[in-house]
Amino acid sequence: MIAAAANAYQQTQVLTANRVQLIVLLYDSAIHSMELAREAILTNNYKDKARFLDRSMAIVGELSSVLDFERGGEIAISLHRLYDYMVQQCIQANLRHNGKHLDGPIRCLTTLREGWQVVARQESVTHVGG
Residue 127: alpha-carbon gap to chain centroid: 25
Amino acid 127: pLDDT: 61
- Please give the model's pTM, rounded to 2 decimal places: 0.83
The least confident of 19-28, 29-38, 121-130 is 121-130
Once rounded to an integer, what is the mean pLDDT over residues 22-30? Answer: 97
Rg (CA), the chain: 16
117, pLDDT greater than 50: yes
| CA atoms of 125 and 129, how far apart (whole Å) | 6
What is the share, in percent, of the chain residues with pLDDT greater than 70?
A: 84
15, pLDDT greater than 80: no
Once rounded to an integer, what is the mean pLDDT over residues 93-115? Answer: 98
